[in-house]
A and B are shown apart, each in its own frame.
Chain A
Amino acid sequence: MATSGLPSDDLDRTLRFVLDRALGMGAVYADARFQDRRLTLVGLTARREGGTPGGGRAAWEVSRHTERGLGVRVVGPGGREGFAATSDLSRPALAKVVSDAAAGAMSGRAGPSGEGGEGTSLGPAVRTVGRAATPRRLHPDDLELEEKRDILRTFTAEAFARSETSTVSLAYADAAGTDVFASTEGSRVETDSARVILRAGVEARHALRAFDSAESLGGVGGLELLSELAVKDLARRLAANAADWLGAPAAPGGEMTTVLDNQAGENFVHEAVGHSCEADAVLTGASVMGGRLGREIGAPGVTVVDDPGRVGTVGMYVYDDEGVPARSVTLIEEGVLRAYLHTRRTAAAMGVEPNGHARARDFGYVPIVRMGTINIEPGEFTLEEMLEDIDRGIYLMGKRGGQVDPARGVFQFRPDRARLIRRGELGEPVRAPSLSGSILDILQSIDAVGRDLVFHPGGCGKGFPGQTIPAGSGSPHLRLTRATIGGAGSGDPDWAGRKEGGA
């Protein structure tokens, strides 16, 4: 293996130098993560001017990036962890980074109450030796920049085929490179990976009215994930969404029966279930899932799995950032909480095996508990069956992002767009309202799970300092008997007086 700028022999000597130096400073454990990554970003904003099909103005933004560095984690005799990182791979810089990490691991005193002590162990030793390459057919490094720009041109031409389209906004990114993990327990894991993503937004505009629809395509893999067929299909769908929702009124607000499409369901399972099942939050009493293992927390049809091995999804990986092989974890099985997501430290604290969910943004960050690709397992319902006995409700479609407070047990997400449900059928389009709810209440309120599991790429921010990473998610359609919808209300008297409770 020869990583860019650092031959294999040099890299192994570098890793050995770092680990030996850490042990020499009194560490009981140390690991080193080397990363060598290249990114290409291509942005395009194209606007129609004067009715010109294909866009009148197009602003491109292309950039290339090299990220190379090494992060060192040291565990001291008291179980404390220290971490430091550098992009300077000279011996003096590496020596300093080990010293900084060791200093963090060797000091400290008890908290203000005197309880709890400081730090916990990583648990039983883990020794993993392996080499992996994530699957791909068309490696991004093998394509010229113009071929990547052609993907964006293809999308733009297709989206502007709709006369209502006013603006196309695209962000393409590929990242490829090598990650090497080595530890004083004898692990040495090397992963060669590639990831491609296209984030697309299409806006339709008429006079002062505008609506935009957005979605992402891609995952861990190569340019085969952005085939011409898939790109054109996405462009057509987003252009149609933007045109169909142009001028849509605000959604009604209050509590109502809600159906989530695949992407809205993904947003829900990621925010509400995934984050609250992260063991670091559970251990500190900052998750409503704490103390509920083996208990029924959701409706019987709800099964949730996080599987970083799911090929093609953006959250796929083979080994986590502690060198632990990635493992599929069933978090909720038929409504019963079965497991949490773990790093080695949280697994040791709970007395279970680590399950390969330690991820770091890059070499500069310490690994923390993260999702890989999470999904709700499919059920038996069709969308029509879900709709047929809803008198009045709302259908939330697509995803724009969400947020969760696991300690309060509260989450919120915003879909891309919505439609009203009237007398068992989909009604008129409305602008996307946010959905807010109590995690446990919403899990109990799922009374129908669709048979149509679909995955999409997404991202996730967590931690202090904040770490943003790609994360995959999937969901079938879901029906919630009651959810709080933050709409600004509508002029339709049918929708009055939906909020229950009150002071």
Chain B
Amino acid sequence: MQDLLERAEQALELARRAGAAAAEAYVIDAPADAVSFERAGAGSGGVRLRTAVTVPHRGLGLTAQWGGLVGFASTTDLSAAGLEDVVRACRHAALPEEPGLALTPPSGVRPSPTPSDLVDRRVVEMSLADLVEVAREVAEEVWEAGGLAVGVVSFARCRRVAVANSLGLARSSLDTLVSAGAYAASPGGGLASWSRASRSLEGLRRLSVGRRAAGMALSSEGARDVVPGRQTVVLGPGAVLSLLAGSLGPALGADRVGEGSSPFSGRDGRPRLGEEVAASLLSVTDDATRPVGTGSYEFDAEGTPGGVTPLIRDGILVAVLHNNRTAAAARPAGEASSGNASRDRSDRMTTFVEPSGHFGYRSGVSPSTLVVQAPGRTYAGPGEAGVDRGLLVADVMGAFVIDPAVGDFSVTTTNAWALERGSPAYPVRRAMLTGNIYEMLKMVSALAGEPEDVAGPFSVLTPAWVVSELTVV
């Protein structure tokens, strides 16, 4: 990782020579191995290797300040010439920006534990061929559990990051992530997809992705039409992440709150702290420090250590998430960053003409892992939570078009089952769930089952949510 820090510091030095008063460089080298198996042919239970590739994700993003002007540029070319080019491009792109906000020392950083077990040496050292075997194991699991694998994917990433700035900050880190997903069919025509991620190979194996996909496919045979109307809906952890990824997650960022594009925006860009935003049983905490957490990190995209930030306590909004820029702008007197700077700008308006990696974006704000809890109201399953009839939903499609400022959703279930006497009675065909995320937060009546760590643009650690009334079409 020393080489990445050296590149970052070279870029800072070149910016200084070009007259920049301050600068920050973010460098990432995170090649990802990706493997996919596909069904060998219609009607065949066999699979064959379809893709085994290594995708580079390597580049540098430079923010620099010349007087009242701040510029940003990125490059995939980390050679000396490439770094000189990026400084020139940064200067060319510089525009006036509110003074003091562009590059802010991470002052007042709250002490926080460094998350442990974010690196699995076996993932660091594994080859593409090793990952092929991981995916093959998942396919075999589907097969052994009585399913047919329509497709199996596996992904492994070893991420090295360095952040340095002209205020003397210089940090580097290494972490690993490995994931698998299976799209399984049953002999009777049931279909199901299931995917999960882990920091380690052993952790991924324990998640039994192939077996769970096959089990869901088998239990999806003979699906019937859904009974429409308002009813109790139990959202599995995957469905919860799908719904929150484009709504509550971005809405809790101080950048959106400050610009008035969050339901939590109050006067003068201040968050509506102290207001009831969820059912009183719900508490939500952002936690970047969880050992082995898929959303954990040592430091964020500005070099600030990740922290633990209670956001919603007993249904009341108590805080929002900050990076350095939003923390410095917080009124009346600024705050410390919560360590939630992120360069994943997936919730922002896109033209589909984009830089090839996260290094191509200035820092926004994102949760790390949203930990959802309901002390005293978490049960072993829907039946124990008092659900008699309703709908159990494993995941949904179409949630990515939710506007975080508004929260209206209209999504289609992928795998769902009708609940009778608190247990799955029969699978249901495609059903639509419609409502508003922020109203739904107030209608959560219990949590059910073991919490699961589900990774996406950020992670959630949550049991299933029992939502007392939702419109099913």
Contact = CB atoms under 8 A, between A and B. Distances in A.
A436 B412 contact: yes
Interface string B30-69: 0010101111111111111111111111110000000000
Contact of B93 (A145, A433, A489): A145
Contacts of A201: 349
B353 A87 contact: no
B405 A65 contact: no
B89 interface: yes
**In which size bucket is the chain B interface?**
35 or more
A152 interface: no
B92 A116 contact: no
Contacts of B53: 82-84, 104, 365-366, 465
Q: Is the interface of B mostly helix, strand, loop or mixed?
A: mixed
Nearest to A286: B150
Interface string A68-100: 110000000000111111111000000000001
B47 A464 contact: no
**In which size bucket is the chain A interface?**
35 or more
A171 B360 contact: no
B78 interface: yes
B230 to A, nearest CB: 9
Chain B CB within 10 Å, residue with most, of A63, A86, A401:
A63
A499 interface: yes
Interface stretch (B16-24, B79-87, B108-116, B368-376): B79-87
B151 interface: yes
Contacts of B259: 45, 47, 59
Contacts of A464: 34, 36, 51, 153, 155
Given A64-B92, A119-B48, A175 B77 contact: no
A100 B54 contact: yes
B167 interface: no
Contacts of B44: 113, 115-116
A216 interface: yes
Contacts of B107: none
Nearest to B225: A501
A464 B182 CA distance: 12
Chain B CB within 10 Å, residue with most, of A108, A436, A486:
A486
A80 B353 contact: no
A65 B183 contact: no
Contacts of A405: 397, 414
Nearest to B430: A410
Interface string A318-341: 000000000000000000000000
- Considering the complex of A and B, which 8 residue pairs feature the smallest CB-CB distances, nearest first? A116-B40, A459-B352, A115-B46, A113-B46, A486-B410, A486-B432, A434-B410, A64-B89
26 contacts: A5-B81, A41-B351, A41-B353, A63-B362, A66-B76, A67-B76, A67-B355, A85-B54, A87-B76, A112-B143, A115-B46, A116-B41, A170-B349, A198-B351, A210-B405, A214-B349, A284-B38, A286-B151, A362-B356, A365-B55, A405-B414, A410-B412, A434-B412, A471-B352, A503-B225, A503-B426
Interface of A: 5, 39-41, 43, 45, 47, 59-69, 80-88, 100, 103-104, 107-108, 110-119, 145, 167, 169-175, 195, 197-199, 201, 210, 212, 214, 216, 218, 250, 253-254, 280, 283-286, 290-291, 314, 361-362, 364-366, 400-403, 405, 407-408, 410, 412-414, 431, 433-434, 436, 438, 457-460, 464-465, 468-471, 484-489, 499, 501-503
Interface of B: 32, 34, 36-59, 71-79, 81-82, 85-86, 89-90, 92-95, 127-129, 132, 136, 139-140, 143, 150-151, 153, 155, 183, 185, 191, 224-228, 259-261, 348-356, 360-362, 397-398, 400-401, 403, 405-406, 408, 410-412, 414, 418, 426, 428, 430, 432-436, 471, 473
